[in-house]
Chain A
Amino acid sequence: MAVRLKSVITIPIHRMARFPYYKSNLYPCTEKLLRCISSTPRELQGAPLKPVLLNGFQRTLLSIGAAAMAVTDPTRHDMVATLGETTGHKALVRIHQKMLQDEEGRLVLQDKPRISSSTVNLPALRSLPEGTLGKCYTNFLDNNKVTPDSRCTVLFIEDVELRYVMQRYREVHDLFHSLLGMPTNMLGEVAVKWVEALQTGLPMCAGAAIFGPIRFKPKQRSKYATQYLPWAVKVGSESKPLMNIYYEKRWEQQVEDLRRELNISPFMI
């Protein structure tokens, strides 16, 4: 029996993978030139705040104080941010490694893009057609009355690369909300924190995911237990790392395509 060997083996791939969106706006320059782009994060308004070097005692005191303040006063988002910075070193190193291993993640680390109202053209995104990532993101910002400028600058991390990873995590949090379709109420926030905890491993996310539901009312608790929690755990464990995505190059991509690409299963009520 003659076995005809194919000289070229074609592996069926998703049509979107053939034309990766993040490469469509690629600068017409070589890889080497890309590496020459300055690795210091672009500073936003005002003088950059000096990073603070903490010793062990300060770190412990700050973590305990920030945790206590975050739990007693939920409006203190800066305390949640501080807690993330003081406890997240190992997790940040892991995220950084994962980003370096992914092509798109490496590009994000080279370019170090920032998301704020001065670096992202929000009116242009609002004018995009419905169903695109940019439109979905601006709808989210408008419906929940938030801006991308409300994130604190990272203060307590020494290494420039890790500081950028932390800042990026903070700035794409709203994009996670848009992608997952979760609102900014307590249930939505805890669900997003579960996904982030499972993907990034940041202790602050895990803490918020586990202790956040303490403040739930009984109706919220039942919804959480039956719908939000199983879905969030499923998405967190199955989906591709959301930190690796160069969102700035994908504003025109259809959100559903991006969700399929990242293996995010839709939330069914």
Chain B
Amino acid sequence: MSRFGLVSKDILISTRPSIRALYQSRHKTTHFGYQDVSEEEKSEKVREVFASVAAKYDLMNDLMSGGVHRLWKDYFVKQVAPVPQAKLLDVAGGTGDISFRYIQRLLYQQPQHKESESHPSKQVTICDFSESMLAEGRKRAKKLGYTGISWVCGDAQQLPFPEHCFDCYTIAYGIRNVVHVQKALNEAYRVLKPGGRFMCLEFSQVPNPVLRWFYDQYSFNVIPPVGHVVTGDWHSYQYLVESIRKFPDQKTFALMIEDAGFRRVRYEDLTFGITAIHSGYKL
């Protein structure tokens, strides 16, 4: 630092760590679909996308996947295999698709708990970083009568929970929207109890080249126009299909999960690799 109060920008950036970190994070770019944006921008843009799609989220999911997303989620929760008294953290679970299916399975297994104090919804925490999505979820939970769910607005990269809290961590179609996927995986490891399970349902890469061509054509030529006609928003759906392509493939993602500390990492392709379920244990 100069004695005379005249400091060049370079010296300032290199000597003061807080400013250096700020400079780096402001100028580090990441991807938002196929665009390059700064990390702060990506966070904001993703928030805007979900605020915009929240109202017709379920309708759009049905239109884009032809209703198949329901089958994927049903199968996913079957693989989660809920047990009573196990605490679930559903991250990016704003509208509650996974959590409600989890609760329904528990109620089916043990119907006596429907009206009692130990209603399965008390074991469920939903965390999402979009308030609009949480609001949609709350509405649906009220209709279904699941009053015990905890709704938390938080970032998957910095979960507002202490460590060793939950028995099961699920994230369905949310992790590809996170700016630093590895940070989200590390957080997942932190909040799970030893023996806890990490389950992730996410769009993945289709290995078969012919099917991949059809899938790409459908994704880019049908989904944004239909999204625009139904919701009046082209750019959000363009982002959704581009972010699928930018997400790592099944094997790479499995390695990232192992890097976070999980063991017995397995993945299973659904519908020719369009969706994949990744699972790992904190051992």
Contacts and interface: CB of A to CB of B under 8 A. Distances in A.
A223 interface: no
Given A69-B229, A82-B228, A61 B235 contact: no
B222 A61 contact: yes
B221 interface: yes
Interface stretch (A15-23, A52-60, A141-149, A184-192): A52-60
B221 A58 contact: yes
B221 A55 contact: yes
A55 B222 CA distance: 11
A66 interface: yes
Interface in A20-69: 49-50, 52, 55, 57-58, 61-62, 65-66, 68-69
B226 interface: yes
A111 interface: no
B253 interface: no
Contacts of B196: none
Interface residues of B, number: 12
B234 interface: yes
A57 B232 contact: no
A205 interface: no
B261 interface: no
B224 A78 contact: no
A57 B216 CA distance: 14
Task: Give the secondary structure class of B's interface.
Answer: helix
Nearest to A67: B229
A61 B232 contact: no
A76 interface: yes
Interface residues of A, number: 17
Contacts of B229: 62, 65-66, 68-69, 79, 82
B248 interface: no
Contacts of A65: 225-226, 228-229
A155 interface: yes
A50 B225 contact: no
B234 A61 contact: no
A154 to B, nearest CB: 12
Contact of A76 (B222, B224, B232, B235): B232
Nearest to B35: A50
A50 B235 contact: yes
Contacts of A78: 232
A66 B235 CA distance: 16
Contacts of B235: 49-50, 52
Contacts of B232: 76, 78-79
Nearest to B233: A78
B34 to A, nearest CB: 11
Contacts of B222: 61
Interface in B131-153: none
Interface of B: 221-222, 224-226, 228-230, 232, 234-235, 238
Report, nearest first, the 10 A-B pairs whose CB atoms are least far apart.
A65-B229, A62-B225, A61-B225, A78-B232, A57-B221, A69-B229, A58-B225, A58-B221, A52-B234, A66-B229
